[in-house]
Amino acid sequence: MLTPGLEFSSNGHLYIEGCDIVALAQKYGTPLYVMNEKLIRNNCRRYTSFIAENFKTGSFPCYASKALSCLEIYRIMNEEKMGVDVVSGGELYTALKADFPAERIFFHGNNKTVDELRMAVEFGVGRIIVDNLTELHLLDKIASEAKSKQKIGLRIKPGIEAHTHDYIRTGQIDSKFGFSIENGEALEAVKEAMSCDNLELCQLHCHIGSQIFDTQPFVDAVKVMLDFFVIIHNETGQWIKELNLGGGLGASYTDADSPLEIEEYLTPVAQILKSTCKELDIPEPEFHIEPGRSIVGEAGTTLYTIGAIKDIKDIRTYISVDGGMADNIRYALYKAEYTVLNASKNSGTIKDNVTIAGKCCESGDLIQEGISLTEPDVGDILAVLTTGAYNYSMASNYNRIPRPAMIMVKDGNSRVVIQRESYADLLNNDI
Ligand SMILES: Cc1ncc(COP(=O)(O)O)c(C=O)c1O
C-alpha cells in the first residue's frame, strides 16, 4: 500500500511529492517525520468546500489538533479557513502563538484546569465544550469575573458504539467524557447551562470514536442528537443552534483498511441532518466536525535508518532502527498496524517474518511485527507510512532520546517545520 504522494522511482528509491526519501534522510537525518503539505491542504479543502455547499451558513470543520500540534499546522489550518479544536492550555497556547483567530478555536477536555479555563475566556476562545457540571459552574464563575459571556457547547454521550478499537472508543455510556442522554444527566446539564448568567449554550457535541470506516454510526449519532434537540425544545422552549459531530473518520494504515472518502462520509450525514430536521420540524443547526486523523494521518511518513539486524533462526528477524516508541508509541500502546517499506530499494529478495524494533530499553518497543521487507541492509532507509496523526503529538523523551525533526514537502521542495531536539534541549528544565 502506498499513501497519496508516494511512489517508487526508477532509481529504486521511494519518493514523496517529488522528493527522494533517501536524499531527505541524508539531508535532515533520521528519525524524521515527513509531512505531505499538499495532501493536508487538499484534505482541508475537501472538508471546507463540502461543508460550505451542503450545510447551513456558518458551518465549518475544526481540525482536531491533538492529532498533530505545532505552529505550522495551525498556520496552515488558518490559511485553509478551518477552525481548530484544542484540548489543553499547551495546544491553545501554540494556536494563539501561530496567530490562529481565537473565535475559531473550540476548547475540549474532561478536566480543564482553572488556569486553562481562565486563559480560554481571556483570549476569547469561540466555544468551550463543557464536559461536566463541576466545569460548568467553574466556567460560569470565571466568565463572571472576566465580565464576559462565554459561548459554550456541551459534550454529550449519545450511546452510539462505533466499530473500532476499544481504547479509542468514547461514545458509550461508560466513558470519562461528557453527559449521557440515556440516564438524564445530559438534559439536566442543558437546563443548568441555560440557567448560568455568564454562559451562552450554543452547541451540543458528540464524538463517537476514531478510525471509523462506516457511515452508519455517524448517521445514527445525528439522529440521536437531533431527537435530543427536540426533547430540549419541549422541556425548555429553546432550540440548540449548533451540532458538532466530533471526529472519527478513518485513515488507511495497511491494505486491510478501506476508509471512506471525505465526501462519502459527509453525504449521508448531510442528508440525514436535513431530512430529520424537516421531519421533526427542527430549525437546521449549524454543523461542525473535528477531523484529525483523516486530515493529517496519511500525510505523514516517518523515516528511520536500519542499524542492527538480528536473524534468530526459525523464529524471526529483528531489524533495529534509530527511533521507536519514543517517536511512535502506537504499536506498543495498542498494537496499531502500519505499512513499512524499504525506501532505499524497490526490488530484491523479500525477507519475511521481520520485526521492526526501536532503540529504547523496553522489549515492547516495537514498530511492527511479522512484516515482509525488500532486502533490508544496514544503512537502508525505512519508511513507516500514515504516521501523521498521533505520532509526533504522542512522542516522548523516553531514554532521553531527543524528538525527531519534522519537515513539510510540497512540489519537490522540503522545509523544516519542527527542529530536531538537541541533547542540550533535553536539559532545558533540569536544575
Ligand atoms: C472530541 C474529539 N474531537 C475530535 C477528535 C479527533 O478524532 P479523529 O482523529 O479520529 O478524527 C477526537 C479524538 O479523540 C476527539 O476526542
Atom in ligand 1 nearest the alpha carbon of residue 292: 9
Residue to substitute in 167, 170, 210, 211 for testing ligand 1 pocket (most ligand atoms within 8 angstroms of CB): 210
Residue 173 has pLDDT above 80, yes or no: no
For residue 107, give the C-alpha cell. 476548547
What is the predicted pLDDT for the residue at 164?
59
What is the average per-residue pLDDT within 35-60?
Answer: 98
Res. 1 pLDDT band, cuts 50 70 90: confident
Contact between 198 and 148 (Cβ < 8 Å): yes
DSSP assignments along 304-329, one per residue: EEEEEEEEETTTEEEEEES--TTT--
Distance 350 CA to ligand 1 centre (A): 37
Nearest to 243 by CA among 230, 225, 220: 225
pLDDT category of residue 282 using cuts at 50, 70 and 90:
very high
Domain ranges of the chain: 6-30+299-426, 37-293
Separation of CA 228 and ligand 1 centre (Å):
22
Q: How far is the CA of 14 from the centre of ligand 1 (A)?
A: 31
pLDDT at position 168 is: 47
Name the residue among 132, 234, 150 with its Cα closest to residue 186: 132
pLDDT tens by residue, 389-427: 999 999 999 999 999 999 999 999 999 999 999 999 999
Other C-beta atoms closer than 10 Å to the C-beta of 334 total: 11
| Residue to mutate, 66, 157, 294, 333, ligand 1, most ligand atoms under 8 Å from C-beta | 66
Indicate the average pLDDT of the chain.
Answer: 96
Rounded to whole angstroms, how far apart are CA atoms 1 and 282? 44
Per CATH, 6-30+299-426 and 37-293 having the same topology is answered: no
The stretch 220-232 carries a mean pLDDT of: 97
The architecture (CATH level 2) of 6-30+299-426 comes to Beta Barrel (2.40)
- Residue 324 backbone class (left: φ over 0; alpha: ψ -120 to 50; beta: rest): left
Distance of alpha carbon 31 from alpha carbon 368, whole angstroms: 16
Q: Identify the residues whose C-beta falls under 6 Å from ligand 1.
A: 64, 67, 85, 108, 170, 207, 210, 246-249, 290-294, 389
CA distance 18 to 409: 8
Q: Ligand 1 atom closest to Cα of 87?
A: 1
Model confidence at 122: pLDDT above 90? yes
Quick one: which atom of ligand 1 is closest to the CA of 129?
Answer: 1
| CATH 3.20.20.10 given to domain 37-293 | yes
CA dihedral 193, 199, 202, 203 (to 10 degrees): -60
Cα gap 59→245, rounded to integer Å:
12
Residue nearest to atom 6 of ligand 1 (CA): 247
Pairing of the two strands 405-410 and 413-418? antiparallel
Residues 284-320 pLDDT 10s: 999 999 999 999 999 999 999 999 999 999 999 999 9
